[in-house]
């Protein structure tokens, strides 16, 4: 009888220990499976969140860089203004137009550009003054040049003089949106060996200017002949 109880007791202990061992293995198995999976998921989620946060910053930096570049180009373009230079080469063809850029359009800027085409003496001719006036509903420019310009014209033929005067008149009327230009030298009327420029010169071609000068010359000769009579 005692042996039977002892055997039953030992069997119960064995079953209990076996159950505990199985529970322990189950707990360990659960820990080994669950914990790594959660850690991997957390790492993946954190990585995605990191990338999502970083990408907009990179795009913003690129956008700012592009905006700064465009802003710099706009400022550079605003810093330079386009202007048109008119110059002639001969009496048969019209004036050639050349577009140049400058920070500011001034009479000397225009004259220096014309000097590169031999319209005025290089570095010698300066604008002593320039005024814009409204006369009889017309916008006129009064341009006073240095004495070297008159000396330069005195060495020219009538054809060359017409090319020079028409080039200056067209260049200034175009850039200042004027109707004609009075050209004087050191405050006095421009007088050359071919003509006396007492009237404003509009945007004539060289041929048109020569026609006008010849007509004025014929008129002056007729008036002189009448006085003699």
Per-residue pLDDT reduced to its tens digit, 126-161? 999 999 999 999 999 999 999 999 999 999 999 999
Produce one character per residue of 127-166: b if its CB has 16 or more CB atoms within 10 Å, e if not: beebeeeeeeeeebbebbbbeebbebbeebebebbbbbbb
- For 109, the token pair is 């800027």
Mean pLDDT across the stretch 199-210? 95
Global pTM reads 0.65
Mean pLDDT across the stretch 185-202? 96
State how far the Cα of 206 lies from the Cα of 166, in Å rounded to an integer: 6
* Lowest-pLDDT range of 2-11, 32-41, 144-153: 32-41
| Residues written for the chain | 229
pLDDT at position 81, please?
83
pLDDT at position 80, please?
79
């Amino acid at each position: 009888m005692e042996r039977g109880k002892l055997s039953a007791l030992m069997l119960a202990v064995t079953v209990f220990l076996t159950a505990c061992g199985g529970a322990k293995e189950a707990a360990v198995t659960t820990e080994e499976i669950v914990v790594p999976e959660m850690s991997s998921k957390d790492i993946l989620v954190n990585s995605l969140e990191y990338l999502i946060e970083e990408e907009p910053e990179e795009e913003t930096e690129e956008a700012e860089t592009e905006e700064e570049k465009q802003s710099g180009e706009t400022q550079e373009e605003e810093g330079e203004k386009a202007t048109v230079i008119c110059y002639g080469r001969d009496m048969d063809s019209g004036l050639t137009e050349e577009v140049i850029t400058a920070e500011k359009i001034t009479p000397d800027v225009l004259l220096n550009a014309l000097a590169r085409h031999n319209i005025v003496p290089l570095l010698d001719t300066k604008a002593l003054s320039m005024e814009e006036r409204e006369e009889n509903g017309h916008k006129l420019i009064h341009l006073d040049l240095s004495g070297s310009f008159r000396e330069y014209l005195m060495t020219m033929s009538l054809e060359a003089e017409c090319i020079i005067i028409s080039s200056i008149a067209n260049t200034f009327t175009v850039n200042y949106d004027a109707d004609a230009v009075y050209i004087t030298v050191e405050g006095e009327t421009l007088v050359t060996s071919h003509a006396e420029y007492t009237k404003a010169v509009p945007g004539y071609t060289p041929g048109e200017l020569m026609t006008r000068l010849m007509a004025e010359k014929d008129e002056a000769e007729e008036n002189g002949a009448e006085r003699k009579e």
